Amino acid sequence: SKEICEANETIMCPMCERNCTLQKLNESCIYAKVTHLFDNGGTVFFAIFMAIWATVFLEFWKRRRAVLTYDWDLIDWEDEEEELRPQFEAKYSQVERVNPITGKPEPFQPFPDKLSRLMVSVSGIFFMISLVLTAVFAVVVYRLVAMEQFASFKWYFIKKYWQFATSGTGVCINFMIIMSLNVVYEKVAYLLTDLEHPRTESEWENSFALKMFLFQFVNLNSSIFYIAFFLGRFAGRPGKYNKLFNRWRLEECHPSGCLIDLCLQMGVIMVLKQMWNNFMELGYPLLQNWWSRRKMKKRGQLMEHKISLPQWEKDWNLQPMNLHGLMDEYLEMVLQFGFTTIFVAAFPLAPLLALLNNIIEIRLDAYKFVTQWRRPMPARATDIGIWYGILEGIGVLAVITNAFVIAITSDYIPRFVYAYKYGPCTDQGYRQEKCLKGYVNSSLSVFDLSELGMGYSGYCRYRDYRAPPWSSTPYEFTLQFWHVLAARLAFIIVFEHLVFGIKSFIAYLIPDMPKDLCDRMRREKYLVQEMMYEAELEHLQRERKKNGKQYHHEWP
């Protein structure tokens, strides 16, 4: 960042077709300093720490779940046979088979019917996911069109920071599309789940939860994946840029890198979504309850003397709980877990924002359940169902994603290669910042402005590893490009294997059940066996006395 801020004579190539002017590299000084906060040597270790934390978190949740299951006497509850859904019984009442557990006939869904319904449901899921990708593509087209307009804007501030304006407005539009599509996804998930005709209520909940997670996960993260792994990767080079539909030039990364765009995208979406969720959880029930009280006053149910209603009637006038219970609460926490782990290398503030949000939301949820919602119907459960498997899947995806973010999106690997292979400390080993002297100049290629045909002369710089125009092979990739590419691939492989190995080792070390709980369960089992022994022995003694036989104090 220091070299970028001091680059007063380095001219950067235009970043758009018509309205962009030549700018000096030091104009992106602020972006470089902000990027350095997230893209530094500690990023790798922080990503490893968060991957290990996710494993420890899930392993200790297993232990907590075992304690809760024991305290509520639900150890053997899951062995009981769950009742069939009335919809399932009504649909398949004509087809029966004998239940292998109960030995009684019950409705049965033939395999061809189940397979056909499942295929329709999967097709619906892929259609909705393709709709999400279409929406992301529309936002990408907007960014390509908007950057030309903002670059020629009348207001000097927007014209100067046109890249920030393009990214900011693109994020806001993307967020509005996300929240609009979420409403559609919930209705579609209901339809697809009912179409499958799940056998039991738990099967229905698991199927619905998986669809809602897939829809919202893709909806929230598709644009983030685009910025992290595709933005600026296929833009081309000056004089030979790739264009969308042969009309709009593909967007490039900022001179200080793509990480600042990724950080902005994640920060805005995470903060706005948490604010929206808190409003919908508390503000919306408050407005509904206020409106219902207002209607009651208009109908004359409350006299001028304010007759006090009994408590049960006041409770009845509150808002009912959602039909799918705590599904929204689970979904919000699981998506937040994804934000705090999947792209934590690009946005290290995500865990802090999640912590602050949860501190506030705990009190908001308490107020909502006690004062704004009717008392929910209790239901027994031994675990959190399919959500635990989803959390484990997110933990695995987080390792892979962070490896690619550090290797591809950030400049960690190019700096590493330069320090060891091309910098002033090539033969001395890596020694902090002084070995990176000249890195910025090494990471910028040279382009002859006269080839643009826009009246410019001289040379400009752009982010890439290509040969200069005066070389024998102008604008071809240099050896440094292939060294960086090889180092990136090697880092991905080493990082993933190292972190997965540590995660597996930690998961093996931490038992799923606390030792004191195991001892208590074994003690209970022992006492039950003793009671059965005493009861059987007493029964045997009575039988021998009745028959007049001699008995001994021993096990028969």
* Residuewise pLDDT in 10s, the chain (556 residues): 788 888 778 888 887 777 677 788 887 888 788 888 877 778 888 888 998 999 999 999 999 999 999 999 888 776 556 778 888 888 888 888 887 777 778 888 888 888 999 999 999 999 988 998 999 899 888 888 888 777 777 777 777 777 778 888 888 888 888 888 888 888 899 999 999 888 888 888 889 999 999 998 998 888 888 888 888 788 888 878 888 888 888 888 777 777 888 888 888 888 888 888 878 777 777 887 777 777 777 666 545 445 566 777 778 878 787 767 788 889 989 999 998 998 888 888 889 999 998 998 898 888 888 888 888 888 788 888 899 999 999 999 999 999 998 898 888 899 889 888 888 877 665 556 678 888 888 888 998 888 877 677 788 888 889 998 888 888 899 999 999 999 999 999 999 999 999 999 999 999 989 999 999 989 988 999 999 999 999 888 888 887 765 555 554 4
403 and 465 share one domain = yes
pLDDT at 429: 59
pLDDT at 301: 52
385 and 429 share one domain = yes
Q: What token pair was written down for 426?
A: 């090539």
| 474 CB neighbour count, 10 Å cutoff | 15
Residue 168 lies in a domain: no
Domain extent for 279: 1-83+200-300+309-509
What is the secondary structure of 307-373 as a DSSP string? Answer: PPPPHHHHHHTSBPPPTTTTHHHHHHHHHHHHHHHTTTTT-TTHHHHHHHHHHHHHHHHHHIIIIIB
Instruction: Tell me the one-letter amino acid at 465.
Output: Y
Which candidate, 367, 483, 343, 360, places its Cα nearest to that of 421? 483
Whether the Cβ atoms of residue 408 and residue 229 lie closer than 8 Å to each other: yes
pLDDT at 57: 93
462 three-state secondary structure: strand
23 and 58 share one domain = yes
522 and 377 share one domain = no
Burial class (CB within 10 angstroms; exposed 0-12, middle 13-18, buried 19+) of 549: exposed
482 and 525 share one domain = no
Q: Which of 493, 509, 525 is the last residue of a domain?
A: 509
Q: φ and ψ at 193, to 5 degrees?
A: -70, -45
CA distance 314 to 350: 40
Residue 169 lies in a domain: no
Whether the Cβ atoms of residue 131 and residue 143 lie closer than 8 Å to each other: no
Number of domains in the chain: 2
Q: What token pair was written down for 100?
A: 């292998």
232 and 355 share one domain = yes
pTM for the model stands at 0.83
Residue 174 lies in a domain: no
**Owner of token pair 């996300």:** 178
Long-range CB pairs of 280-286, under 8 A, 24+ apart, other chains included: 281/328, 281/361, 281/364, 281/365, 281/368, 282/364, 282/367, 282/368, 282/372, 285/319, 285/368, 285/372, 285/373, 286/372
Which candidate, 225, 234, 286, places its Cα nearest to that of 261? 225
Give the pairing type, strands 23-24 and 105-107. unpaired
Containing 444, the helix (H) or strand (E) segment is: strand 444-448
286 and 357 share one domain = yes
* Beta bridge pairs of residue 98: 105
Q: What size, in residues, is the chain?
A: 556
406 and 525 share one domain = no
pLDDT at 474: 87
Residue 37 lies in a domain: yes
434 and 540 share one domain = no
| H helical segments located in 230-323 | 259-278, 284-298, 311-316
Q: φ and ψ at 225, to 5 degrees?
A: -65, -35
531 and 467 share one domain = no
**Owner of token pair 């643009």:** 452
Signed CA dihedral, 269, 271, 274, 279: sign only: negative
531 and 483 share one domain = no
Residue 447 lies in a domain: yes
pLDDT at 540: 87
Residue 412 lies in a domain: yes
415 and 546 share one domain = no
Q: What token pair was written down for 410?
A: 């950030």
Q: What token pair was written down for 201?
A: 């209520």
Instruction: Tell me the one-letter amino acid at 555.
Output: W
Region of residue 456 (left: phi > 0; alpha: psi -120 to 50; beta: else): beta
Containing 131, the helix (H) or strand (E) segment is: helix 111-151
Cβ-count burial 529-543 (b if 16+ within 10 Å, e if not): eeeeeeeeeeeeeee
pLDDT at 66: 92
CA distance 193 to 372: 29
Residue 499 lies in a domain: yes
Residue 380 lies in a domain: yes
